[in-house]
Amino acid sequence: MKKSIKLLVILSISIALCCLVVIRLYSTTKEKVYKRHPIRPVDFPEILIAPEWAVSLNHSTPSNTQRMPNTYGLTFIVHTPFPSEDTRNFIKEHLSSKGWHRLNFHLLNPQVPISLGPLGLEWPKRKGEKKEWPIYWMEDWLSKNEESISVNCAYGRLNKNEPNLFELDLNILNVTLTYHERNSWVRSDIARYKQLHPEEFDESNDANKPPSE
């Protein structure tokens, strides 16, 4: 019984996380509401970069969007077939080389372990409805200065004919990197995470060792 409840909680959180990805992708593709910023601002965080094969770059800052203070975002698209391991490895190697630590659990949901494989979600469909949802990966990284980066990768895009529907496309990877400075709104979440998982920050451990699956 306890195991079933635990799985239900994890599933509920996964649904919430998936909805967050969809909202982010929707906000960056609906041009009538959101203006893109393809040119990198001078004061944009150096840690946020895209691979050379990325296209449709968009840089969001607290000043040019309605983002919260101390929060920056980089979104881009990669035209590579599923599962695009080269892009995911690029992000991992870049952040690792700068001394960042990949968390074994989700920062905002520290009881839920990350999955290194793709996640898919079966959503209930009405009779005759043809709705698809993205295949995605989500993970969080921390720097020694307690900055954080949320990485969201999803295969899927908005349906052009049905603006409120989402369709699966295994040839286009949407990537969102959200950077939070030390004094951002996730500061208390970082403190809570460190209390729950002190073993991840023990210098005797390999900080970038992936979680067991």
pLDDT reported for residue 150: 95
H or E element, residue 195: helix 187-196
DSSP 21-87: HHHHHHHHH-TTT-----SPPTTS-TT----TT-EEEEEE-TTTSSPPTTEEEEEEEE---TT-HHH
Query: Between 118 and 174, where is the model more confident?
Result: 174
Give the 3-state DSSP-derived string for 105-122, with helices as H, strands as E and coil as C: ECCCCCCCECCCCCECCC
Kindly indicate the confidence band of residue 197, based on its pLDDT and cuts at 50, 70 and 90: very high
pLDDT reported for residue 4: 46
pLDDT reported for residue 165: 67
pLDDT reported for residue 29: 42
Q: Which residues pair with 138 in a beta bridge?
A: 152
Q: Which of 10-14, 93-97, 205-209 has the highest mean pLDDT?
A: 93-97
pLDDT in tens, 39-83: 888 889 999 999 999 999 999 888 766 667 889 999 999 998 988
Stretch 11-37: mean pLDDT: 49
Amino acid at residue number 135:
I
Integer Cα distance of 102 and 211 in angstroms: 9
Q: Which residues pair with 9 in a beta bridge?
A: none
Asked if the model's pLDDT at residue 32 lies above 70, the reply is: no
Domain locations in the chain?
2-121+131-201
Q: Which two tokens stand for residue 106?
A: 């989700």
Q: Which two tokens stand for residue 47?
A: 């840690």
pLDDT reported for residue 124: 52
Residue 63's closest CA among 77, 75, 73, 76? 73
Kindly indicate the confidence band of residue 25, based on its pLDDT and cuts at 50, 70 and 90: very low
Kindly indicate the confidence band of residue 211, based on its pLDDT and cuts at 50, 70 and 90: very low
Kindly indicate the confidence band of residue 133, based on its pLDDT and cuts at 50, 70 and 90: low
Query: Between 177 and 131, where is the model more confident?
Result: 177
Asked if the model's pLDDT at residue 127 lies above 80, the reply is: no
pLDDT reported for residue 28: 45
